[in-house]
């Protein structure tokens, strides 16, 4: 099995850059979460059990405002729906050594970056490699959140306020290259932004909870664009 | 940390996990439908766009500092700088404006 040439050590090594990246993004999330009124331990628990940036960021306002559980559920389903496609793709990268119980664990850690590294390997990947790969990202995400949550209470207000934009900065960094590359994506991003702003600023629509506003804006826009501007490529290109 | 938080946590983690895990365990074929593939292609970008705007303008202590941060982020991201560079660049832009606002 060529796929089993990938060792635990190599996976661990490949996971370190992901872990370092997560450390800083999770730091910003930790600040955001505690600033929104969540406790330090609550913020860390959210990161430990979800390991997803956009889904967690959308969840915090719902949780801190005591929003409905259904809204939270639907928000997570929509925002994380892209993972279903990545998991389908990832399942085809696994070598014979990967068993059912391994899949149950790798599913938990199938983040955008872990997925990107695993599928970029020329041959199929072994279970040992996968176990190595997911360690640093998990540790980076959890520890980064803890640091951010603690720092949010210590750092001066002006620094906390500045770091409040960090996660959104990361989102913009993910959006821009694809917006530049693909005109359909640019149009879709503009339409989704316009819808989201309508929900926020129109008095009649602003009664709708933030989570639902994101769901309606993104699903509606994506449905319309899938109809009028379907994509041609075989490989999905999500890297969020 | 109260009981309600654990309900939130379980629902949230459960939804996220099932979406990731189920296809990994049960799906071994590629999605053929061009419509579904296109929909799933657009979702991350439309989600990020509607999560970012207009919320980002209220993520700092003033709309002005946030707007400057967004401009810095857009310019840096346009030139394909790394995620961390863009995120920190935006933060530095916000910091600069807010320090000026305090001084003036």
Query: Does residue A189 lie in a domain region?
Result: no
B30 neighbourhood in chain A, CB within 8 Å? 88-89, 92, 234
Closest residue on chain B to A42 (Cα): B1
Q: Say how far apart CA A218 and CA A192 lie, in whole Å.
A: 6
When CB atoms are compared, the residue of B13, B44, B78 closest to A50 is: B13
Most confidently predicted of A213-222, B30-39, B88-97: B88-97
Query: Does residue A39 lie in a domain region?
Result: yes
Query: Does residue A137 lie in a domain region?
Result: yes
Q: Give me the pLDDT at residue A185, please.
A: 95
Q: Say how far apart CA A51 and CA A48 lie, in whole Å.
A: 6
Q: Do A83 and B55 touch (CB under 8 A)?
A: no
Q: What average pLDDT does range A6-13 have in this prediction?
A: 90
Query: Does residue A150 lie in a domain region?
Result: yes
pLDDT per position as a tens digit, A186-239:
999 999 999 999 999 998 888 777 778 888 999 999 999 999 999 876 544 444
Q: Give me the pLDDT at residue A121, please.
A: 80
Q: What average pLDDT does range B30-52 have in this prediction?
A: 86
Share the mean pLDDT of chain A. 88
Residue ranges per structural domain of chain B:
31-103
Q: Give me the pLDDT at residue A197, please.
A: 96
Q: Give me the pLDDT at residue A152, please.
A: 87
Query: Does residue A214 lie in a domain region?
Result: no
- Total structural domains within chain A: 1
When CB atoms are compared, the residue of B24, B61, B102 closest to A91 is: B24
Distance from the Cα of B50 to chain A's closest Cα (Å) equals: 5
Q: Give me the pLDDT at residue A5, please.
A: 55
Q: Give me the pLDDT at residue A17, please.
A: 82
Query: Does residue A48 lie in a domain region?
Result: yes
The contacts found for A156-160 with CB under 8 angstroms, 24 or more apart, are A157/B61, A158/B61, A158/B95, A158/B98, A158/B99, A158/B102, A159/B95, A160/A31, A160/A35
Q: What average pLDDT does range B9-34 have in this prediction?
A: 88
Q: What average pLDDT does range A62-91 have in this prediction?
A: 90
Query: Does residue A163 lie in a domain region?
Result: no
Q: Give me the pLDDT at residue B30, please.
A: 66
Q: Say how far apart CA A76 and CA A57 lie, in whole Å.
A: 10
Q: Say how far apart CA B69 and CA A173 lie, in whole Å.
A: 12
Domain enclosing residue A64, as ranges: 2-156
């Amino acid at each position: 099995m060529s796929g089993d040439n990938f060792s635990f050590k190599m996976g661990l090594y490949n996971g370190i850059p992901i872990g370092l990246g997560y450390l800083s993004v999770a730091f910003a999330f930790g600040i955001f979460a505690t600033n929104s009124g969540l406790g330090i331990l609550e913020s860390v628990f959210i990161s430990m059990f979800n390991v997803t940036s956009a889904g967690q960021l959308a969840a915090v306002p719902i949780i801190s405002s005591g929003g409905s559980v259904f809204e939270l559920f639907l928000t997570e389903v929509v925002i994380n729906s892209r993972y279903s496609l990545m998991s389908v793709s990832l399942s085809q990268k696994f070598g014979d050594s990967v068993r059912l119980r391994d899949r149950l664990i790798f599913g938990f850690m199938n983040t955008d970056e872990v997925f990107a590294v695993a599928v970029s390997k020329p041959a199929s990947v072994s279970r040992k490699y996968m176990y190595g790969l997911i360690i640093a990202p998990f540790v980076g995400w959890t520890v980064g959140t803890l640091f951010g949550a603690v720092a949010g209470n210590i750092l001066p207000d002006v620094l906390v306020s500045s770091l409040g934009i960090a996660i959104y900065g990361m989102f913009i960094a993910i959006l821009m290259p694809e917006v530049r590359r693909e005109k359909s994506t640019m149009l879709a991003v503009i339409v989704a932004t316009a819808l989201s702003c309508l929900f926020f600023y129109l008095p009649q629509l602003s009664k709708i909870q933030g989570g639902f506003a994101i769901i309606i804006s993104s699903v509606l826009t994506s449905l319309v664009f899938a109809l009028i501007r379907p994509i041609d490529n075989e490989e999905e290109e999500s890297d969020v | 940390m109260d009981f309600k938080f654990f309900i939130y946590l379980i629902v949230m983690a459960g939804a996220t996990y099932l979406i990731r895990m189920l296809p990994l365990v049960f799906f071994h074929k590629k999605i053929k439908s061009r419509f579904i593939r296109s929909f799933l292609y657009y979702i991350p970008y439309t989600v990020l766009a509607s999560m970012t705007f207009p919320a980002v303008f209220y993520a700092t202590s003033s709309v002005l500092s946030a707007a400057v941060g967004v401009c810095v982020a857009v310019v840096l991201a346009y030139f394909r700088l790394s995620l961390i560079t863009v995120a920190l660049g935006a933060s530095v832009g916000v910091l600069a404006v807010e320090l000026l606002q305090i001084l003036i």
